[in-house]
Structure 1
Amino acid sequence: MSGKTERLQDEVVIAGGTAGLIARFFVAPLDVVKIRLQLQTHSLSDPLSQRNINGGPIYKGTLRTMRHIVRHEGITGLWKGNVPAELLYVCYSATQFTAYRAATVSLAQIHDALGIPATPPLDSFVAGASAGAAATAATYPLDLLRTRFAAQGNDADRVYTSLRGAVRDIARDEGATGFFRGLGPALIQIAPYMGAFFTFYEGLKPITNRIQNDVFRSGKSELLGGNGLGTADAAAGIMAAVMAKTFVFPLDLVRKRIQVQGPTRSRYVHKNIPVYDRGVARALATILRTEGVRGLYRGLIVSLFKAAPANAITMWTYERVLHVLTHMDAEAVV
């Protein structure tokens, strides 16, 4: 039994890491755009008197921001920070799915030991929140590096020239704690986000599976692209991501702004990023006071465009890779 459990754990790690690797590459441009919009404190619709015209470019909309980055920084500008981000997504996904499975098993054992019935929605929320918090804490320095590389420009606006140089400079100028700027809001955000995501996902998956089966029985499988392989998982992932992301987005925005604090704050593309050094609640209050409710949701649309396919690809890839590995393991045993 122990050997079987260990093999399953390895399969979960491999499936999770593969899912993160593939998902990250496809959504990297949307991630860069999201970060740029989140760090922006003004928009084109603000009166000129309220804008800091010396504070860097003012972006408007997802496509315009993409065009601006490509025009001024080249096509590779849309993949800035992709090396630490790929490492982040691989490590994060592997840790997240492993922790989620471990938490799910532990909760089931607790229910059995206490003789109380399982509560699927609550169990999914607790397991998802625990998995998200564990994965975030374990990979946070990579998340910070991803944000800083995505926030910097080219040439004179370049803050770090290499990943190794960034690690060296942050360690020298900001100390070990510099790698964990914004960890507080990250944990506050990720726990309810991943809890809500897995709750929605586990609740929606039976529904999307039923719809997929009904489509096949009706003889209209072409609506699912022929075989519909994994369509239900992808659809559940998209809907769960949209609902969960909207719920916690202001905390994600605060996390990004805190991540670029420190001695290099004024050297990024946006040079007028305010100082946020009084905690999450004060940062939220400051943004609300100076930018209004809209300020708490800068970049929400592109974030949803990114979260939906990212989670769809992640959950689809995870389910498919895990199925293949489990099938291969079963055949090897036979």
Structure 2
Amino acid sequence: MSDPNQISFVQAFFCSAFAACVAEFCTIPLDTAKVRLQLQRKLGVDDEVGLPKYKGLLGTVKTIAREEGISALWKGIVPGLHRQCLYGGLRIGLYDPVKTFLVGSAFVGEVPLYHMVLAALLTGALAIMVANPTDLVKVRLQAEGQLPSGVPRRYSGAIDAYITISRQEGIGALWTGLGPNIARNAIINAAELASYDQVKRTILTIPGFMDDVYTHLLAGLGAGLFAVFIGSPVDVVKSRMMGDSTYKSTFDCFLKTLLNEGFTAFYKGFLPNFGRIGAWNVVMFLTLEQVRYTYYLAYAVIICNL
């Protein structure tokens, strides 16, 4: 990404939060489809025809839109934006400062890959510890559509969900699934941010490529692919822990999923997950690079006129 020495953490936080929110709004329909597919068990089939209710990315999106309305695809957008303001702003905004801290302020040259990975692991874990309640509420709202017809919805909206969960299950329940969520987000954050930097660095060594939108697009897709391959298993466990309170622990969820459905269940919803994370990374990094460039340009104009 651009030179972090020209931007403060507060400015980096707001740039990152804005870019993450834009990406969230554009891609949350794919995330809703992914969550529905992950929560669907092999035994949880349609009672009438004995077949899985949701099939594939487009099929799931079509089913949700037909049965619940188009707006249902954006169910969970409010806590999703809450999440990205906190989680996106912190994990991306802290990434460059933590990299600088790890290598030392006097370091000159390209930051080693293992330092980039470690920085992203740390910022991903820290950010989700703060933002876990927003993630929980988003998943709960996205899962609402799976309730049987005629059963009243548990929550009327995001704020009601925060209050209801705290009142009925205790404040600590807002951090349900924190263990797999830390694992998932630390790993995916490392895969996204470190791989984006590394892929972008590699692309720029190829003759004819410059630091422009085409390079950002390719690097964003590469980051999304790495993130999905590495993070899918913990992502499935996280979604099931948050969407279903019957599991006793993270290990219980992992073991029951493995024994009842096999290892492939951990890659359930892989294509919508890649579609979601790949698209999310492309939109987020393109937006972030442009927002930062605009800031640098405005800063340079102001300095030149002083």
Pairwise same-fold verdict (TM > 0.5) = yes
Post-superposition Cα deviations, 1:9-30, rounded to whole Å, max 9, x if no partner, equal 2321221011011101110110
Correspondence 1:1-334 to 2 at 5 A: 8-42=8-42, 50=43, 53-54=46-47, 58-109=53-104, 120-153=112-145, 156-211=151-206, 214=208, 229-262=212-245, 275-277=246-248, 279-334=249-304
CA contact (8 A) 1:208 1:233 kept: no
Deviations 1:137-194 (CA, angstroms, capped at 9, x unpaired): 1111111111011100286352211222212211111101110110100111222222
> In 2, Cα distance between the equivalents of 1:155 and 1:326?
54
Distance 1:130 1:292, change over 3 A: same
Partner Cα distance (2:269, 2:213) in 1: 29
Cα distance in 2 between the residues matched to 1:128 and 1:204: 15
Q: CA deviation at 1:330?
A: 2.3
CA contact under 8 A between 1:81 and 1:145: conserved in structure 2?
yes
SS at match of 2:162: helix
Q: Output the amino acid matched with 2:9.
A: Q
CA distance in 2, matches of 1:214, 1:236: 15
- CA 1:207–1:14: 2 relative to 1, 3 Å: same
SS in 1 for 2:234: helix
Equivalent position amino acid for 1:136 in 2? I
One-letter code of the match for 1:26?
C
C-alpha contact (below 8 Å) 1:11/1:326 kept by paired residues: no
Deviation at 1:97, TM superposition (A): 1.7
Specify the code of the residue in structure 1 equivalent to 2:208: D
Task: Report the CA distance between 1:90 and its aligned residue.
Answer: 2.4
- 1:38-75 superposed Cα distances (whole Å, 9 cap, x missing partner): 10112xxxxxxx55545996211111111111111001
Counterpart CA distance in 2 for 1:166 and 1:128 is 30
Root-mean-square deviation (CA), in Å?
2.6
| Structure-2 change in CA distance of 1:9 and 1:326 (3 Å) | farther
Q: Report the TM-score, using the length of structure 2 for normalisation.
A: 0.89
Q: Which runs of 5+ in 2 are unaligned?
A: none
What is the rounded CA distance, in whole Å, between the counterparts of 1:206 and 1:304 in structure 2? 22
CA shift in 2, pair 1:51/1:84, >3 Å? closer
The Cα shift of 1:8 comes to: 2.4
Q: Partners of 1:17 and 1:96 in 2: how far apart?
A: 9
AA aligned opposite 1:207: T
Structure 1 length-normalised TM: 0.81
Distance in 2, matches of 1:164 and 1:13, equals: 24
Post-superposition shift, 1:5?
7.0
- Bigger-Rg structure (1/2): 1
Using the alignment, how far apart are the partners of 2:14 and 2:111 within structure 1?
Answer: 29
Task: Check the 8 A contact 2:23/2:283 in 1, yes or no.
Answer: yes
Rounded to whole Å, the distance in 2 between the matches of 1:203 and 1:5 is 19
